[in-house]
Amino acid sequence: MQEWISHIPRIELEEPLWLLLLPLLALAAWWMRRQEQKGRVAAVTFPDVERLRHEGLEAPLLLRRLPEWLRWTALVLGVAAMTRPQLVVKQTVAHSRGIDVILALDISESMQLKDAGGRSRLDAVKSVAREFVTRHSNDRIGVVVFKGKGYTLSPLTLDHRVTGMLIDNVSPDVIRDEGTAVGTAVLIAVNRLRASQSDQKVIILFSDGVSNAGEIDPVTAASFAAAQGIRIYTAGAGSASSASSALDEGELRRVALTAGGRYFRAGTSASLAEAFESIDRLEKSELTSPVTSNKSGMFVQLLLPALFLLLFEAMLSNTRLLRVP
């Protein structure tokens, strides 16, 4: 209930001192009515007014008072416009309970081998990563890609539609440096997660495990991640018996073990489901997006009706509601 009330639109005044004119307007209205009742209002006297009334030319009381009400309403609106009111609408805070996850995708040349059921290793990895994003709607997910070097493709976000599109369009061409720097990718992911407020932080490393570039080896980088409270799950892509570039499951297992995670095969449905369930069992943390306020000025919206009412009042006072004392 309290959260709902906090998001009700409210009005802020930039120049509230103009409101001091409202008591003066009320005093002026009272004084003019009093003078009218005493018969001191200046007027031109017409003869035989009773005859005009008898002919039905006198407007009803409510109609006779209409110009006066229009005039005072226009003045009040004018004063309100001068306060420069702002309509403030708060954006709904996105509450969710989830973990922060960085997906590290190997896009090296060895990932182009087609030993994953007729698909390339990279295509198999992209499919698994896409499925993970789809299944974890309450988790903030970021993406790191790497070859001889690595970079952040997407920061941590709850906008999974954009994250999925970025994963779908990943290709080896986004990085020119050849090789596979697994350790570098882990460090980049760790740096992305260090600023996270979540109690549970996870890196899912998709690779064939063949690390031959970078200044830090994967296990050392995993030790650094573990020291930061970050788990690493590794997903092996490819075949361990490939003639050209075999999957190094041993290296990936060591990385996962060092950082408190688990290893699974990206191309095996049973292993994949088991890994996802293991990640889902992690304790969830409450995440909130920043509260933003949208402000829209109401000066014109108040001034235009005030001018219209004054124009309408002048037209009525000089035509149908012309006063003849």
pLDDT tens-digit map of 166-187: 999 888 888 888 888 899 999 9
pLDDT band at 4 (very low <50, low <70, confident <90, very high): very low
Residue 25 token pair: 């307007």
Three-class SS state of 295: strand
Give me the phi and psi of 38, to 5 degrees please: -85, -5
Q: Please state, for a pLDDT cut of 70, what percent of the chain lies above it.
A: 71
CA neighbor of 265 nearest in space, from 242, 233, 231? 233
pLDDT above 70: residue 299: yes
pLDDT for the residue numbered 131: 85
pLDDT for the residue numbered 25: 82
CA dist 169 to 103, 147, 214, 247, Å?
15, 16, 25, 24
pLDDT band at 114 (very low <50, low <70, confident <90, very high): confident
pLDDT for the residue numbered 166: 92
pLDDT for the residue numbered 84: 86
Question: Which pairs from 271-280 meet CB under 8 Å and 24+ separation?
Answer: 272/128, 272/131, 272/235, 275/233, 275/235, 276/132, 276/135, 278/233, 279/99, 279/101, 279/202, 279/204, 279/233
CA neighbor of 204 nearest in space, from 255, 269, 168, 152? 255
pLDDT band at 315 (very low <50, low <70, confident <90, very high): confident
Three-class SS state of 156: strand
Q: pLDDT for 199-247, tens place per residue?
A: 889 999 988 777 888 788 899 999 999 999 999 998 887 665 555 666 7
Beta bridge pairs of residue 296: 87
pLDDT for the residue numbered 242: 57
Nearest-angstrom CA–CA distance, 129 and 108? 16
pLDDT for the residue numbered 104: 93
The count of other CB atoms within 10 Å of the CB of residue 93 is 14
pLDDT for the residue numbered 101: 92
Residue 115 and residue 39 in contact, taking contact as beta carbons nearer than 8 Å: no
pLDDT above 60: residue 7: no
Q: What value does the mean pLDDT of the chain take?
A: 77
Considering only residues 58 and 84, tell me which one the structure prediction assigns the higher pLDDT. Answer: 84
Nearest-angstrom CA–CA distance, 290 and 192? 18
pLDDT for the residue numbered 207: 85
Residue 174 and residue 144 in contact, taking contact as beta carbons nearer than 8 Å: no
pLDDT above 50: residue 68: yes
Q: pLDDT for 239-287, tens place per residue?
A: 655 556 667 788 889 999 999 888 887 665 566 666 677 777 765 655 5
